Structure 1
Amino acid sequence: MQVSIQTTSGLERRLTIGVPADRIDSEVNTRLQKAAGTVRIDGFRKGKVPMRVLKQRFGAGVRQEVLGEVMNQTFSEAVVQEKLKPAGMPEIETKTAEEGKDLEYVATFEVFPEIELKSFASIEVEKLNAKVEDADVEKMVNTLREQQGEFVVVERAAADGDKVNIDYAGTKDGVAFEGGSAEGSDLTLGSNQMIPGFEAGIVGMKAGEEKVLALTFPEEYHSEELKGAAVEFKVTVNTVSEKQPAELNDEFFAKFGVSEGGEEKFLADVRENMERELENAAKSKTKNQVMDSLLELHAEIQVPKALAKEEIKVLRQQMVQQFGGGAQNLDLDSLLPDDMFQEQAERRVKLGLILNELINAKEIKADAAKVKETIEGFASTYEDPQEVINYYYGNPQQLQQVESMVVEDMVVEHILSESKVTEKDSTYDEVLAPAAPPEPEDGEAE
């Protein structure tokens, strides 16, 4: 087997591979001879079909089969011989494949980039320290009470956030238009369900009052007839209701899984959940800083197009699942083009390459005690923790996912041990707040 290698651009390689004709021809003959004992052809007894007839009838098909297998085998032998690491399947171009001639083909593919891990000493990470205060728990409880609250009719003027029951009739140039009228319709003020000015116009009205609102439909409104149209709405308020927070009672506690222990147990559960959420958020922000710094340190690493393409498929499928699937018959490549995911896909691939290199270089393996601690943490939020623990340890795929999480956490810990880490006192709300988007660099559009 003859092999020549050419670097075309970046990570792309072209292997020209030559295979002696006798390797192909001898395998074709071997298979035809083996078939001769079983094949049936009219005019010949079983096992007595001449080789020339077998070649004429089956030779081309057997040869194509052998060529495919030999190209797979020799490509694998060639990349081992040349010490290459293909990233994705090769594109094969056959140069010569005629019977009696040496096989020659070209395999074009990308290789994994060579990664030289940089020193982590220049990485700077800010770790946020915070704890759940009594005021944080009180604020959370008030939020939960508000979420579970109910609207109650009140005898006062409507305010933002109230729910009003109204009758309204819309006209354009004195003529009613389709969809512009309703009776007994509930509307939460401030929800922006109606066109601009409608809800604001009701603020301050009381039950039994009428008002005519002179408004204008938005220019981008879906109805051609009403785009930018000046209209009037005659509005009558039937009732005004305000949302009253739920009472702290057994019925309320039961909605959050507290059947015994009353308010004390409920507050303890809320605090425990908040502390878990705080720990995860602080850990996530630290991890994100580490990952961003890793990418900056290794910015020169090229991403194999084949790996980015596979990652784009994963991201596209995740988006479809996130929005409920049901897109089997849609052209997803047009609706969700590669460009939507390119940057994120390249980031994920590059991080994966860096992390794998670090894991291999430092021989980092999932610590069994940390895996157990992680699974027990998951299980603690369930009614029967042991059942959840048994599920993870009885399901190899789920266990492997946890082990991968633990390895990634161990990688972050290793990097932090060699980085500049400063600690900053913070609050629950600050740690839980989403990270601010990066500011555009000079020359970028806002």
Structure 2
Amino acid sequence: MQVSVETTSGLERRLIVGVPAERIDSAVNSKLQKASKTVRLDGFRPGKVPMKVMRQRFGESVRMEVLGEVMNESFYEAIQQQDLKPAGQPAIEPKSMEAGRDLEYVATFEVFPEIELKDYSSIKVVKPVAEVTDADIDKMIDNLREQRATYETVERAAQDGDQVVIDYLGTKDGEAFEGGAAEDSNLVLGSGQMIPGFEDGIVGMKAGEEKVLSLSFPEDYHSEELKGAAVEFKINLKEVKEKAQPELNDEFFKLFGVEEGGMDAFRAEVKKNMDGQLESAVENRIKQQIMDGVLDVHSDLQVPKALISQEIDALRNQQLQQFGDLAKQINAKDIFPDEVFAENAERRVKLGLVLNELVSKEGIEADADKVRETIEKMAASYDDAEQVVNWYYSNPQQLQGIESLVVENQVVDNLLEKAQVSEETSSYEKVMSPPEEEAAEDE
């Protein structure tokens, strides 16, 4: 077998493979002889069909089958011979397939890049130092009460923050328009759910009152027909409800697993959960900075387009899961074109390649104690933690996911030892806020 390799551009390789005709002919003859023992043809006894007849009837189809198999087999033989590591499937173009002649084809594909591990001492990491204060706990408890708030009917005029039950009918030039009417609709005033002026116009109304609001749709409204349109809404207010937060009592505490101990025990449980959240958030901040630093150090690393394409498809499929059964009825690439995920996909592929190389070169394996610790930490929030732990250890796929997470954390720890680490005094609220919000606050 003759093999030659050309580098066309970057990571792309062009492999020219020649396979002797004898290999093809031998494989064709072998398949025809094997088939002749079982094939049934009129005029011949089973197993007695002459090879001449077999070649006339099945020779061409068997040859095409053999060519496909040989191209596949010889391609993998060729890349092993040339010590190449393809990323993605090759594009194979036959050049010579005539009977009696050597098979020749061209395989074009990308290879994994050679990754040279860098000096990571230039990576800078700022570790936020914060603690959960009494004020943070008070705010969290208020949030928990707010999440479980209910609305109770009141006999007064509607105010911001109230929930109202309304019928409404919208008209444009005296004609009702699509989507402009509803009955027994629940609306929280001040939520911004409706167009400007709608909710403000209901403030001050009482149950049983009717009102007509003259409003205009925003110029950037999604419906072309209604962009900037002057409309009227006839409002019939049926009920006004005031938000009521639950009392801080034993019944409320039980919702969070606190059966006894009252307020002190409840605050201690809230603080415990907040401490855990803060610890995870700090770890994630550090990990993010490490990953960003690794990408900066390897900014010139080329990655295979085939791997980026695969990652784009994976990210798109994750996004489509939120559509449930509807995902089967839509064209995914129309709603989520490749460009939406391209940057993130390239980042993930590049990080994956570098981290895998680090794992390989440093000989990092998942530490069994850390795997156990991670699983127990995840199981702690369940009533029967031991059952959850056993479930992970009896489920190879789930266990592998935890081991991969532990290896990633060990890589981060490894890089953290090489990086320049400083500390910065912060707060629970700041550490827990998304990075983009924190950046906006700093500005």
- Under a length normalisation based on structure 1, what TM-score does the superposition of the two structures give? 0.90
1:345, distance to aligned residue in structure 2 (A): 1.0
Match of 2:22 in 1: 22
Deviation by residue 1:372-405 (Cα, 9 ceiling, x = unmatched): 0000001100000000000000011000000000
Deviation by residue 1:298-356 (Cα, 9 ceiling, x = unmatched): 01111211111111111111001133343113222222221211111111111100100
DSSP 3-state at the match of 2:408: helix
1:50, distance to aligned residue in structure 2 (A): 2.1
Match of 1:274 in 2: 274
Match of 1:45 in 2: 45
DSSP 3-state at the match of 2:105: strand
Match of 1:350 in 2: 350
1:251, distance to aligned residue in structure 2 (A): 2.5
Match of 1:283 in 2: 283
C-alpha distance in structure 2 between counterparts of 1:214 and 1:36, whole Å: 87
Deviation by residue 1:229-260 (Cα, 9 ceiling, x = unmatched): 44455667666443222101233223333344
Match of 1:414 in 2: 414
For residue 143 of structure 1, what is the amino acid of its counterpart?
Answer: N
Match of 1:100 in 2: 100
Match of 1:331 in 2: 331
DSSP 3-state at the match of 1:431: helix
Match of 1:444 in 2: none
Match of 1:248 in 2: 248
Unaligned runs of 5+ in 2: none
Q: Could you say if the C-alpha distance between residues 409 and 65 of structure 1 is closer, same or farther in structure 2, counting changes exceeding 3 Å? A: same
Q: Could you say if the C-alpha distance between residues 316 and 365 of structure 1 is closer, same or farther in structure 2, counting changes exceeding 3 Å? A: same
1:227, distance to aligned residue in structure 2 (A): 4.9
Match of 2:306 in 1: 306
Of Structure 1 and Structure 2, the greater helix share is in: 2
Do structure 1's residue 11 and structure 2's residue 11 form an aligned pair?
A: yes
C-alpha distance in structure 2 between counterparts of 1:40 and 1:180, whole Å: 72
1:112, distance to aligned residue in structure 2 (A): 0.3
Worse overlay, 206-215 or 101-110: 206-215
User: Could you tell me whether the CA contact under 8 Å between 2:430 and 2:438 is conserved in 1?
Assistant: no
Match of 2:364 in 1: 364
Q: What are the residue-to-residue correspondences of 1:87-126 with 2, within 5 Å? A: 87-126=87-126
C-alpha distance in structure 1 between counterparts of 2:435 and 2:103, whole Å: 58
User: Could you tell me whether the CA contact under 8 Å between 2:321 and 2:327 is conserved in 1?
Assistant: no
DSSP 3-state at the match of 2:414: helix
User: Could you tell me whether the CA contact under 8 Å between 2:27 and 2:66 is conserved in 1?
Assistant: yes
Do structure 1's residue 137 and structure 2's residue 143 form an aligned pair?
A: no
Match of 1:340 in 2: 340
1:172, distance to aligned residue in structure 2 (A): 6.2
Q: Could you say if the C-alpha distance between residues 171 and 332 of structure 1 is closer, same or farther in structure 2, counting changes exceeding 3 Å? A: closer
Worse overlay, 84-93 or 66-75: 66-75
1:220, distance to aligned residue in structure 2 (A): 5.1
DSSP 3-state at the match of 1:344: helix
C-alpha distance in structure 1 between counterparts of 2:181 and 2:145, whole Å: 35
User: Could you tell me whether the CA contact under 8 Å between 1:169 and 1:176 is conserved in 2?
Assistant: no
C-alpha distance in structure 2 between counterparts of 1:72 and 1:279, whole Å: 51
Do structure 1's residue 199 and structure 2's residue 199 form an aligned pair?
A: yes
Q: Could you say if the C-alpha distance between residues 338 and 176 of structure 1 is closer, same or farther in structure 2, counting changes exceeding 3 Å? A: closer
Paired residues, number: 439
C-alpha distance in structure 2 between counterparts of 1:233 and 1:45, whole Å: 88
For residue 159 of structure 2, what is the amino acid of its counterpart?
Answer: A
Unaligned runs of 5+ in 1: 440-446
Q: Could you say if the C-alpha distance between residues 219 and 59 of structure 1 is closer, same or farther in structure 2, counting changes exceeding 3 Å? A: same
C-alpha distance in structure 1 between counterparts of 2:37 and 2:237, whole Å: 94
C-alpha distance in structure 1 between counterparts of 2:318 and 2:33, whole Å: 51
For residue 124 of structure 2, what is the amino acid of its counterpart?
Answer: E
Q: Could you say if the C-alpha distance between residues 225 and 23 of structure 1 is closer, same or farther in structure 2, counting changes exceeding 3 Å? A: closer
Deviation by residue 1:208-234 (Cα, 9 ceiling, x = unmatched): 877664432334557777653444556
C-alpha distance in structure 1 between counterparts of 2:176 and 2:42, whole Å: 82
C-alpha distance in structure 1 between counterparts of 2:258 and 2:48, whole Å: 84
Q: Could you say if the C-alpha distance between residues 25 and 159 of structure 1 is closer, same or farther in structure 2, counting changes exceeding 3 Å? A: same
1:183, distance to aligned residue in structure 2 (A): 7.6
C-alpha distance in structure 2 between counterparts of 1:333 and 1:168, whole Å: 38
C-alpha distance in structure 2 between counterparts of 1:181 and 1:16, whole Å: 68
Q: Percent identity?
A: 60
For residue 51 of structure 1, what is the amino acid of its counterpart?
Answer: M
Q: Could you say if the C-alpha distance between residues 212 and 109 of structure 1 is closer, same or farther in structure 2, counting changes exceeding 3 Å? A: closer
Q: Could you say if the C-alpha distance between residues 319 and 170 of structure 1 is closer, same or farther in structure 2, counting changes exceeding 3 Å? A: closer
For the aligned residues, what is the CA RMSD? Answer: 2.7
For residue 399 of structure 1, what is the amino acid of its counterpart?
Answer: L
Q: Could you say if the C-alpha distance between residues 249 and 83 of structure 1 is closer, same or farther in structure 2, counting changes exceeding 3 Å? A: same
C-alpha distance in structure 1 between counterparts of 2:245 and 2:437, whole Å: 34
Match of 2:432 in 1: 432
Match of 2:391 in 1: 391
Match of 1:75 in 2: 75
C-alpha distance in structure 2 between counterparts of 1:4 and 1:26, whole Å: 24
1:169, distance to aligned residue in structure 2 (A): 6.8
User: Could you tell me whether the CA contact under 8 Å between 2:111 and 2:304 is conserved in 1?
Assistant: yes
Deviation by residue 1:145-182 (Cα, 9 ceiling, x = unmatched): 12212234556654321234557676767x57467677
C-alpha distance in structure 2 between counterparts of 1:435 and 1:157, whole Å: 41
1:30, distance to aligned residue in structure 2 (A): 2.2
1:129, distance to aligned residue in structure 2 (A): 1.3
For residue 299 of structure 2, what is the amino acid of its counterpart?
Answer: A
DSSP 3-state at the match of 2:88: coil
User: Could you tell me whether the CA contact under 8 Å between 1:39 and 1:47 is conserved in 2?
Assistant: yes
DSSP 3-state at the match of 1:90: strand
User: Could you tell me whether the CA contact under 8 Å between 1:87 and 1:306 is conserved in 2?
Assistant: yes
DSSP 3-state at the match of 1:106: strand
For residue 27 of structure 1, what is the amino acid of its counterpart?
Answer: A
1:193, distance to aligned residue in structure 2 (A): 2.8
Q: Could you say if the C-alpha distance between residues 181 and 118 of structure 1 is closer, same or farther in structure 2, counting changes exceeding 3 Å? A: closer
